Amino acid sequence: MSYDFDLFVIGAGSGGIATARRAAQYGAKVGIAEYDRLGGTCVNRGCVPKKLLVYASHFPNAFEEAVGYGWSAVSSQVDWPTLITAVNNEVHRLNGIYQSMLDKSQVKLFPYRAKLLDAHTVEVGDQKVTADKILVAVGGVPVRPPIAGIEHALLSDDLFNLKEQPKKLVVLGGGYIGCEFASIFHGLGSEVIQIIRGDKILRGFDEDLRSEIQGAMEKHGIKIYTSADLIGLEQTADGVVVKFKTDAGEETVIADAVSLAALGRKPNLDNLGLENTAVEVNAGAIAVDTYSQTAEPNIYSVGDCTDKVNLTPVAINEGRAFADTMFGGQSRTMSYENIPTAVFTTPEAATVGLTEAESVEQYGEDQVKVYRSRFRPMYYTLPGKDEKTLMKLIVHTETDRVLGAHMVGDSAAEIIQGVAIALKMGATKAQFDATVGIHPSSAEEFVTMR
């Protein structure tokens, strides 16, 4: 049977665009549909604009620390409209780059919402197109949980459209997105209150990392309410009233903005037409095998809508592996072991491999040895600041292989990226020890821990 396209991609986020371009490089005729801006969550509402705001939030500390190095004191405050306009201008620039990349790859863009009509037919706008293979890469969206007055709260996406900087921000939830925005707005000068259900932020991360970041955030001035159950929100003339219960009883806080950044995301599957195909959805996410294939043999899916590992580089690698296998004659699958990730809080954190708890569960407590180092980096000695860096290695005693590496401190993401290569190659603690450190640096601590 003849089709309009060899591959049609639904969703032009990082994973969808990477897949489309790689398949086109192999000679496939490719179409892609996207009703929103090109680049998906990462470029438009996630990684890129968030990291730019992280950079902006660090300047007040830098001004203060400079005095310890002999610079005259600086009195400065952020101009929110200037900052957010610059951030959004950079996002628009990247949108244009993605369009240029699609054009150069001869991938045809359909600027419409796509809907599956059957296993080979997609409705885009007022037309129907057919494809031999279809890839669903529609990502995820933030959700509003069923809480009274939840409509008065902002979602994480909304924070990039604020006309004014909140004077007082309440962050609901302790996931990495909520913690990052709490740190960002605190650094920019907003009063920040964070309300979390558990006793610690960043559930799923290593326990030492969680404790270190939470302690530092509180020391910096972020008020964190733990073990809290939300009762409801109410819009008043004074702002948004948030009511919740803790062990101490019922509490109330008032803010001019509330972010729901960390109360969950879900695969963006609404009105996609999956019911017109044999694609299976499990726990709200598209079910796929190791080759990203769904229960419908010619339909595949990658990225956050499969809810495996919700990271941009993972979606890109999944998509490229699919394109290499289907169109490049290079059968390969995505490996989910030793995926590094970072949390751009203040202080920053990064991690790769197993947590201490995961290591003990998998290998047994007697087969796991933990190395820790906590110190004040040299940079903070002249400013006289009590800022700490935490580094941690988890080692399998029987094989001496390093199972996990975790860090809290300046440049954690940059440092762990290099350490991740070693873990991916199966490096041992002895090989870490045999590596000469770069002195003086914080990173050398990873090869000197005894």
Query: What is the 3 state secondary structure string of 143-168?
Result: CCCCCECHHHCECHHHHHHCCCCCCE
* Pairing, β 191-195 against β 265-267: unpaired
In this prediction, residue 198 carries a pLDDT of 95
In this prediction, residue 259 carries a pLDDT of 77
The helix (run of H) or strand (run of E) holding residue 292 is none
Quickly list H helices, 7-58: 14-25, 40-45, 47-57
How far apart CA 193 and CA 224 sit, in angstroms, is: 6
Tens of pLDDT along 164-204?
A: 999 999 999 999 999 999 999 999 999 999 999 999 999 99
Q: What's the distance, CA 327 to chain centroid? A: 29
How far apart CA 344 and CA 411 sit, in angstroms, is: 10
Q: Does 263 score more than 80 pLDDT?
A: no
Percent of the chain with pLDDT strictly greater than 90: 95
Percent of the chain with pLDDT strictly greater than 70: 99
In this prediction, residue 258 carries a pLDDT of 86
Mean of pLDDT over the chain: 96
Q: Does 156 score more than 90 pLDDT?
A: no
Q: What's the distance, CA 257 to chain centroid? A: 22
pLDDT, mean of residues 114-137: 98
User: Exposed (0-12), middle (13-18) or buried (19+): which is 378, by Cβ within 10 Å?
Assistant: exposed
Q: Does 366 score more than 80 pLDDT?
A: yes
Angle at 229 between CA 228 and CA 231, to 5 degrees: 130
In this prediction, residue 262 carries a pLDDT of 63
Tens of pLDDT along 90-107?
A: 999 999 999 999 999 999
Q: Does 149 score more than 90 pLDDT?
A: yes
In this prediction, residue 261 carries a pLDDT of 58
How far apart CA 338 and CA 427 sit, in angstroms, is: 12
pLDDT, mean of residues 251-255: 95
Given the structure tokens 């009233």, which residue do they identify? 241
How far apart CA 89 and CA 138 sit, in angstroms, is: 24
Quickly list H helices, 240-334: 312-327
Angle at 296 between CA 103 and CA 116, to 5 degrees: 55
Tens of pLDDT along 299-357?
A: 999 999 998 999 999 999 999 999 999 999 999 999 999 999 999 999 999 999 999 99
How far apart CA 165 and CA 167 sit, in angstroms, is: 6
Domains of the chain: 5-142+266-327 (3.50.50.60), 150-263 (3.50.50.60), 341-447 (3.30.390.30)
Given the structure tokens 């968030």, which residue do they identify? 50
Residues known to be catalytic:
439
Q: What is the CA radius of gyration of the chain?
A: 24
Q: Does 230 score more than 80 pLDDT?
A: yes
How far apart CA 279 and CA 297 sit, in angstroms, is: 9
How far apart CA 57 and CA 217 sit, in angstroms, is: 14
Given the structure tokens 């809080």, which residue do they identify? 345
In this prediction, residue 257 carries a pLDDT of 84
Evaluate whether 305 touches 294 at the Cβ level (below 8 Å). Answer: no
Evaluate whether 437 touches 448 at the Cβ level (below 8 Å). Answer: yes
pLDDT band for 140, please (50, 70, 90 cuts): very high
How far apart CA 148 and CA 153 sit, in angstroms, is: 11
pTM of the model: 0.96
Given the structure tokens 């990495």, which residue do they identify? 176
Evaluate whether 391 touches 449 at the Cβ level (below 8 Å). Answer: yes
Give the pair of three-digit tokens for residue 101. Answer: 């990349």
CB atoms within 10 A of CB 327: 20
